[in-house]
Structure 1
Amino acid sequence: MSHSLPHAADAERSVSLPPPKSSPPEQVFVNPLKPAELQVLRAQYEKEGEYVGVQTKFNFAWGLIKSNLRTEQQEGVRLLSDIFRTSPERRRECLYYLALGHYKLGVYSEARKYNDLLLEKEPENLQADQLRGLIDDKVTKEGLMGVAILSGVAVVAGVIGSILFKGVARNR
């Protein structure tokens, strides 16, 4: 099982590919762990119980972030956030996966925050640089969609206002 950083393009494919017809409508990740691999990480995490080690927690969170299931991705982000908060010596390791997890969940402001922190520490980090581009693209696309929706609402409101105004003017 490889612990190298995934490329941001894998995350982008995970968000843009439609799920297979037989799967639930959660986002699809191109390279999730096999269920048996994730189960090994889960079993180790559960076996350590309340005395779970930071490395075990990190490994399990890493596997969850790679998952196809949104609930598992959320749990991975929660575990990494806990490590980030309680283990200052492990923060750098958490930054990319927190950014990636938030990106996959569509929480782009948090993804950008963690990714920017990583790029401050490692300006030459190619994966973080790729992820920054993906985050920026998503924010731009969603911003444009928001503008289009607001424009449509404004047009509809204008038409309704015009109709109401004409109706009031006629009744005078």
Structure 2
Amino acid sequence: MEESQQILDETVLPEEIQRYRVVYEKAKEANQITDENKFSFAYCLVRSKAKADVRHGLTLLRELYDSTKSDDAKRDYIYYLALGNARLNEYETALNFLDAILHLQPGNHQAKNLKEEVTRRMTREGYVGMGIAVGAGALLVGGGGGLLLVGGLTAAALALLKK
């Protein structure tokens, strides 16, 4: 749990963000953006103190998610989407992403720990009731074994991870 608390509280200095921004922008100008440099910049942004940076990081992570065919990469992107949303106090969205991971990988300790920390913060900040109900009700299993997940990107994430 301490690790999840630390990752949610960890921030990146503006100078480090700027360094990654320069690398990303140069790659973009040269039309040589790789998933690696895009992810490095996005991961840096979601750990920023500035909400606008976190939102930009989430946009980059969504783009990465949409462009990859790797299930492992998709799972990682979903995890960091959950992290970024939790950092924005968008706990219900974070829980939906974490539930998508845990549905497919019930033993994923990283996702379990982050979910526990998000739930703890929701309780501490007074989101109990609405948020827990949304998180718990996010996954709906259909009769044919199919899965329906509430939320656009989360539904797509689960469907693609399930393949």
Instruction: Show CA shifts across 1:111-133 (max 9, x none).
Output: 11211222234333322112111
Return the alpha-carbon distance in structure 2 between the equivalents of residues 85 and 78 of structure 1.
Answer: 11
What does residue range 41-80 of structure 1 map to in structure 2 within 5 Å?
41-49=20-28, 50-80=31-61
Normalized per residue, the structure richer in helix is 1
Return the alpha-carbon distance in structure 2 between the equivalents of residues 51 and 101 of structure 1.
Answer: 26
Return the alpha-carbon distance in structure 2 between the equivalents of residues 83 and 42 of structure 1.
Answer: 16
Do structure 1's residue 104 and structure 2's residue 87 form an aligned pair?
yes
TM-score normalised to structure 2 length: 0.65
Return the alpha-carbon distance in structure 2 between the equivalents of residues 39 and 109 of structure 1.
Answer: 30
Do structure 1's residue 9 and structure 2's residue 5 form an aligned pair?
yes
Percent of pairs identical after alignment? 29
Structure 1 residue 92: deviation in Å? 1.6
The corresponding residue for 2:19 is: 40
Question: Between Structure 1 and Structure 2, how many residues are aligned?
Answer: 124
- In structure 1, runs of 5+ residues without a counterpart are 1-5, 15-30, 147-172
Return the alpha-carbon distance in structure 2 between the equivalents of residues 118 and 79 of structure 1.
Answer: 19
Return the alpha-carbon distance in structure 1 between the equivalents of residues 16 and 44 of structure 2.
Answer: 8
Whether the 8 Å CA contact 2:98–2:115 is kept in 1: the answer is yes
Structure 1 residue 11: deviation in Å? 4.7
Instruction: Show CA shifts across 1:86-139 (max 9, x none).
Output: 213121221211100011112222211211222234333322112111232344
Instruction: Show CA shifts across 1:45-65 (max 9, x none).
Output: 101114411111111000011
- In structure 2, runs of 5+ residues without a counterpart are 132-163
Kindly provide the amino acid, as one letter, of the partner of residue 38 in structure 1.
I
The corresponding residue for 1:84 is: 65
Partner of residue 127 from structure 1, selected from 110, 127, 132: 110
Whether the 8 Å CA contact 1:8–1:128 is kept in 2: the answer is no
Q: Flag the 1:71–1:120 CA change in 2: closer, same or farther, 3 A.
A: same
Return the alpha-carbon distance in structure 2 between the equivalents of residues 66 and 83 of structure 1.
Answer: 17
